[in-house]
Chains A and B, each alone.
Chain A
């Protein structure tokens, strides 16, 4: 790529640093340069992606008539397609750029982090996937309200969904703005609007069918692009990974330390707590759970988890090779290093992007930039659809209208909810621009693990769970995960600027998840209400259906 472009990008990087310090005057002066620093290859490739996905949305819109089409693509997605779409939902730009940056900076530690994201999937398939598919229709609230009191369970599930979606969405939107500013030379403000508007289009017009295909295409692009970079790196070393590792040890300032676990596990409590949140939070993420209702039956639901796990595992191996490739091929090239700070131009998250340039030139750099943009769009679309479904299906249709409404009004509500959520995402993305959001994805996983997961697991496995136990356990888990994070170092100190944290740990799941389970249990066993008797009496029928699927097809009310 041209030296000029590099100079411009480094100017943007400087601008980014300035703006973090909120030096407005300096920011505006450099801002002029930023607008010129456009990456044409990336923009053309991104336009091709946008046009293709809008065509798909147009095609999907004609096939999206009923609420079932809108929420779950009418259950028409195959296991393989759904596996790719789940992988597309799960492999965010943050994990692609973030994990390769972690490997670039710390070597082996990056692998530890990515393994945490993978080990939740066997738990999902062995304990939950088929039961979810057999009991639910559109959202995971269908599953937990199957035998428990509908209104309180829907409100709990909708709260869990909206809170998780909000934090996940803000993290994606802020990441999107920063990334697009850097890769495309576009203003943060316009980047937010482009992402928000495209996402609203996909979801409102094309529903789950369009969202699924955006995710499938994005997953293929991301897996293809990452495979290509990894192959080109390995090609550089005659397809001998040992030679790559030896070279990395020789050129890295940390030498042999990059080949072993380092500071990442300095505090075992934090490591175990993060591990719990990642492992069980995956099984409580509303946008992931919703994907199990897009396939025809339990068999396809299981197959989709196997495909998804394989793709995601393969992807993490690629990011590992990419991170090491960046140590040897990017860190050693002065073109990519800021002479003033001796760090990577544009920040550590640029490791994979600069590696694409180093091994594949401007064309691959453009492609990877477009992939990063596409990745963000796919993830925010899935999140917004999950959030909108919680509003329209759980709150509006089930709680406010008590299931008496026609599907038509519910569709209008879900589309309106999508537009509102999209606008909210843009506003929050702009509002959080200058805030350190490193804690947000971890918080989303912690809440999913502490509120959604205990209620979901106990409702299908434990006959004794009552409505009161589930509501109290779920809300206490949610509040505990949230407030412990706020009082911990990652918000109390890093965001709010206090000197000493009120709570010593950044990752709350080790405490909030057992608390959620404990409260579900205590408030269930002490519950002697009439509702509790109904809850327990309904278990056998739910159990038979969760195991066999008898009554699962064509179930319109429960």
Chain B
């Protein structure tokens, strides 16, 4: 492929409504989930640093609030990954296929 043909392809793809939709949806989902993970993790770190007595509150037997909160952070990492992969592998991949087919 010559350089000008390649540039044409890039411009064509960038103008494709499917590409614009993919770009918008993917970047908003990706950034939202990444920021959500940062907020959850650094919220947890902030609690560890500044709200230790709260985390030490016993709610059943010897069980403290720190346990369910810690497990929530751990599982949220898996769930956030799952949400992104699920949407990317269905919705985004379908859009990508359309873009590739239209611009071959």
Give A contacts to B, CB under 8 Å.
108, 111-112, 114-115, 118-119, 121-123, 125-127, 130, 242, 245-246, 249, 256, 259-261, 265, 268, 271-272, 275, 279, 299, 302-303, 305-306, 309-310, 313, 316-317, 540-541, 544, 547-550
Contact = CB atoms under 8 A, between A and B. Distances in A.
Across chains A and B, which 9 residue pairs bring their CB atoms closest together, nearest first?
A: A260-B56, A268-B49, A126-B30, A122-B80, A265-B48, A306-B85, A249-B62, A122-B37, A119-B41
Contact of B70 (A112, A126, A540, A541): A112
A130 B100 contact: no
Given A122-B84, A126-B31, A275-B42, A550 B64 contact: no
B13 A119 contact: no
A299 to B, nearest CB: 5
A278 to B, nearest CB: 10
Contact of A547 (B23, B52, B66, B75): B23
A48 B14 CA distance: 55
Contacts of B29: 126
A109 to B, nearest CB: 9
A413 B5 CA distance: 36
Contact of B74 (A275, A316, A547): A316
Interface in B51-90: 52, 55-56, 58, 60-64, 66-67, 70-71, 73-75, 77-78, 80-82, 84-85, 88-89
> Binding site of A, secondary structure by majority: helix, strand, loop or mixed?
helix
Contacts of A260: 52, 55-56, 64, 66
Interface of B: 6-7, 9-11, 13-14, 19, 22-23, 26, 29-31, 33-34, 37-38, 40-42, 44-45, 48-50, 52, 55-56, 58, 60-64, 66-67, 70-71, 73-75, 77-78, 80-82, 84-85, 88-89, 93, 96, 99-100, 103
Given A275-B42, A541-B7, A121 B81 contact: yes
Given A246-B62, A550-B9, A118 B74 contact: yes
Contacts of A541: 6-7, 10
Contacts of B80: 122, 126
A261 B10 contact: no
15 contacts: A108-B67, A121-B77, A122-B34, A122-B80, A126-B37, A256-B58, A261-B52, A265-B52, A271-B48, A272-B42, A275-B41, A305-B81, A305-B85, A306-B78, A550-B100
B78 A310 contact: yes
Contacts of A265: 45, 48-49, 52
Given A112-B70, A115-B70, A126 B84 contact: yes
Given A118-B74, A126-B30, 8 more contacts: A111-B74, A112-B48, A114-B74, A115-B70, A123-B38, A125-B85, A305-B81, A550-B13
A126 B75 contact: no
Contacts of B84: 122, 125-126, 302
A315 to B, nearest CB: 11
A123 B31 CA distance: 9
B77 A303 contact: no
Contacts of A130: 88
Contacts of B44: 115
B77 to A, nearest CB: 5
Contacts of A303: 85, 89
Contacts of B55: 260-261
Nearest to A317: B74
A548 B41 contact: no
A246 B14 CA distance: 61
A127 B38 CA distance: 13
A268 B50 CA distance: 9
A239 B100 CA distance: 52
